[in-house]
Structure 1
Amino acid sequence: MESRKSIDVTAIGLMTVICLVWAMQQIGLKATEDLAAPIYQIGIRSGIAAACLFAVVALKGGTIPLTGRVALLGVVAGGLFSLEFLLVGEALRHTSAAHVVVFLYTAPIFAALGLHWHSPSERLSTLQWGGIALAGAGIVYAFLAPSGTPDEAVRWKSLLWGDGLATLAGAVWGLTTIVIRTTRLSAIPATNVLFYQLAGAFVVLTGMAWSTGQTQFSISMPLIANLVFQTAIVSLASFIAWFWMLTKYRASQLGVFSFMTPIFGVLLGVVLLGEHLAQEFVTGACAVITGIVIVSASPWLVQVIVSRLLPIVRNQFHQFTGRAL
């Protein structure tokens, strides 16, 4: 089988677009939350996307098992996916989209921790532990925004609750990754796993929306446009493109670029939604994103240092000293 290749200009361009799309989903949900509750929107988009995906797989002659052990594991993955976006939807009711996208994308940290204890081949290096410590410190510091006046204190508590929910969503996402990586789900087509997740989200989130009275749906162009974007671009096109790239390029190198998503989320939240960012959050977010990059890119960074930078250092040392390093 042909080995996956290193990232190139095409991969970088596609990853930039994909990360921008993933950042926009929180922005779109936050911008239209007064027209329809976020969890209701996520449930609707997931149901439509699941139906479309099932039809595409069937038209291509494939099958998605709906019974048996694999399907049961799919239910578990779908349940975790639903819980993740339930937490995201609730977080968006209390905090800003910029906060949600940063704390949600702590998922690689939680996945790395879980895989470290589960699989000997996934042991964390000293550098990666440093990245986790930096990200953890960033999360704590980002939570330390001053409360100010009593009214601001009430608002701050709401923001803190939303930030906590978003971080918990990141932990659930990390757990979902562990389940997929360590079970038979890793051996089935990625489109099947995506179907299980989307179908689970449709059932759980629409049910939750109905049971909690969050079914307001004010038909308008902004809401319809957002649902079309969330369904066609986020739930289908972006993930299909992501799975295609995983078959062509090295996953470790692609994962490095996921740090662009929280950066885009913060910038879009400020520019499109006019969100105010406290200095504590900005500083903490920078630490979180840096920690994520260190954890995700550690093997690649070491390879680059050893294969490219070290020879340059040796050459310069030899030129200046006349000795070999």
Structure 2
Amino acid sequence: MPHTKSHLDGLSIILLTVLCASWGLQQVAIKLSAADIAPIVQSSIRSGGATILIGLWVLLRRKPMFEKDGTLWWGIAAGLLFSFEFVLVYFGLEYTNASRAIIFLYMSPFVVALGSQFFIPTEKLTRLQYIGLTSSFIGILVAFGESFTFPSQDMLIGDFMLIVAAIAWGATTVVIKMGPLAKASSSKTLLYQLSVSALIMPIAAWISGETWADIHFTPVAVASVAYQTIWIATFTFIVWFWLIRIYPAPKLASFSFLTPFFGVLAGGLILDEPMTPALLIAMVMVGVGIYLVNRKHTPVVV
């Protein structure tokens, strides 16, 4: 079992900030290449390519991957949840708008916190830390809630898909942390998820009507897919699973609230998308929330 820590340190905070910035930029990369490669097809290529890269990495390091360590079914479960989340996000966006999707998807840290409360006793949050999570979530509402009007029937369908996607996202983290995957190497945990996703995403693309025949390998499309495959799915994901092994899952999950803001900033700088003053207020609320979740608490002796 790797040495675990009860609080985030400087290294983890730097890594989390880089991860959130990278994931935010990924949203722009997907938009930039959507006209040349459909989104679910992009995800299929990303998962398949990253599976090959991680597999080669494991072979080069000569690390055992097929020993009987009790991780098989847990890994398949995590892979199914991981794939299910992305499928629901892509399909949900067909019915609801992006702002509503962000609000519902970022309910995920609460799923991690509640799951930890029941299944990971050593990582329970205090009342103040739940207030911190709530502050961050309200920040998301302030930033992206301008389109949060009374929904149509189609929007309700999309909203429901995004809520279930948030549950799947949070559950993936809890499943990894509560079972034998917590003791497995980061590369093995990631390989489970990528390989299952590589099988499921092409099926999802076919169901959605996206075809591989419509791919156009323009320089922008190739750069976007390379970024998603090499940097996002291979490097950042393996760092994320390493962090999950070492640090408390709810505290890590609280940093995910930064991702949509990095996405908005990247969209403003690269795609000339609008950035409103409400974003500044929202980012302050998210920052306060992350601080409350991760501040050290001194126990009171009575």
Q: Which one of 289, 293, 301 corresponds to residue 295 of structure 2?
A: 301
In 2: Cα distance, 1:229 partner to 1:125 partner: 38
Query: Is residue 290 of structure 2 the alignment partner of residue 289 of structure 1?
Result: no
For 2:168, the equivalent position in structure 1 comes to 172
Structure 2 matches for 1:127-206, cutoff 5 A? 127-134=128-135, 142-143=144-145, 145=147, 165-206=161-202
For 1:83, the equivalent position in structure 2 comes to 84
The change in CA–CA distance for 1:180 and 1:250 in structure 2 (over 3 A counts) is closer
In 2: Cα distance, 1:267 partner to 1:159 partner: 26
Query: Is residue 118 of structure 2 the alignment partner of residue 117 of structure 1?
Result: yes
Question: Cα RMSD (Å) of the superposition?
Answer: 4.0
The change in CA–CA distance for 1:170 and 1:248 in structure 2 (over 3 A counts) is closer
For 2:9, the equivalent position in structure 1 comes to 7
- Residue aligned with 2:147, SS: coil
Q: TM-score, normalised by structure 2?
A: 0.77
Unaligned runs of 5+ in 2: none
Summarize deviations over 1:126-178 as a string: whole Å, max 9, x none.
1133235445666677556376xxxxx99x88777656544432221101111
CA drift of 1:264 comes to 0.7
Summarize deviations over 1:223-244 as a string: whole Å, max 9, x none.
1111100001101122334455
Asked if the contact 1:262–1:289 (Cα under 8 Å) also holds between the matched residues in 2, the reply is no
The code of the aligned residue for 1:214 comes to E
Query: Is residue 228 of structure 2 the alignment partner of residue 230 of structure 1?
Result: yes
The change in CA–CA distance for 1:118 and 1:257 in structure 2 (over 3 A counts) is closer
For 1:240, the equivalent position in structure 2 comes to 238
Task: State percent identity of aligned pairs.
Answer: 31
The code of the aligned residue for 1:112 comes to A
In 1: Cα distance, 2:14 partner to 2:249 partner: 16
In 1: Cα distance, 2:70 partner to 2:282 partner: 40
The code of the aligned residue for 1:88 comes to V
Unaligned runs of 5+ in 1: 148-152, 308-325
- Residue aligned with 2:261, SS: helix
The change in CA–CA distance for 1:277 and 1:182 in structure 2 (over 3 A counts) is same
- Residue aligned with 2:28, SS: helix
- Residue aligned with 2:221, SS: helix
Asked if the contact 1:26–1:97 (Cα under 8 Å) also holds between the matched residues in 2, the reply is no
For 1:322, the equivalent position in structure 2 comes to none
- Residue aligned with 1:219, SS: coil
- Residue aligned with 1:34, SS: coil
The change in CA–CA distance for 1:144 and 1:253 in structure 2 (over 3 A counts) is closer
**Higher CA-based Rg:** 1
Asked if the contact 1:19–1:258 (Cα under 8 Å) also holds between the matched residues in 2, the reply is yes
In 2: Cα distance, 1:2 partner to 1:139 partner: 33
